[in-house]
Amino acid sequence: MNNSKLISKSYHIPEPIKLKVVKNEDLRKFCVVPLKAFLNKSVTGENLRVLAVLASYCNKGGYSFVSLQRIADDLGCTHQNIAKHLKRLEKAGIISSVQNSWPALKGNTRRIIYDEKIKDSDLKEHQFLNSDISAIRKHTKLINEIDKTMQPQEVGRSEHNQVDDITSLFEYITTDSDLLKLEKLINSGHSIASLKTRLAQGIHVDKL
């Protein structure tokens, strides 16, 4: 019997798996646009459409970190077109822009100016800058490194002891900024044992 014919009759290549792309639900229902944008005769209807979509991504402080491409996707146009409208809105004093984007994470920081009397310094709790992302990434990196060293199949007794020493330092840390300072000290060559001794003596991280 011909083996190739036997195989062809007994085996069927399965149909390729079709992946279903599920889009996250858009929870935006409304936006808040400053009245002065409608009263300003230099602001066009298309400018207002872009402003409205930008406003739908703003936080309570009026800040938005949305990318030009995201706004363009919402309005069905190009990001170059969105940039043109935002430039006009900025020139009219409706928005302000700071170039501090982070690739793949956030676009430039833009603020819709609802009240000229309120300055950026008054809204620090609503801002999200590159320095914040850097701090979060460093913090996450430290935690991930500790998690890796705590895997039992990958560490020996001496490594376990080191992990225990690092973990014991956390009882002296109360804020994320202290954790970042401690990480810098460890990375700069300070021994964990000496840091633990000084922290146990009541010396704050800033004084180490």
Residue range 26-59, pLDDT digits in tens: 788 889 999 999 999 999 999 999 999 999 998 8
d(CA 207, CA 186): 14
pLDDT score at 54: 95
In this predicted structure, the answer to whether residue 166 has a pLDDT above a threshold of 70 is no
If asked whether residues 57 and 100 sit together in one domain, one would say yes
Side chain identity at residue 96, one-letter code: S
> Domain span at residue 178?
132-207
End-of-domain residue from the set 78, 102, 126: 126
End-of-domain residue from the set 126, 145, 161: 126
Answer yes or no: are the C-beta atoms of 142 and 136 closer than 8 Å: no
- Determine, yes or no, domain membership for 3: no
- Determine, yes or no, domain membership for 187: yes
If asked whether residues 42 and 114 sit together in one domain, one would say yes
Per the structure, the count of domains in the chain is 2
Query: Percent of the chain scored above 70 by pLDDT?
Result: 59
Answer yes or no: are the C-beta atoms of 185 and 179 closer than 8 Å: no
pTM over 0.85: no
Answer yes or no: are the C-beta atoms of 55 and 33 closer than 8 Å: yes
Question: Residue 39: which CATH number?
Answer: 1.10.10.10
Residue 107's nearest CA partner among 115, 99, 117 is: 99
Judged on CB neighbours under 10 Å (0-12, 13-18, 19+), 65 is buried
pLDDT score at 35: 95
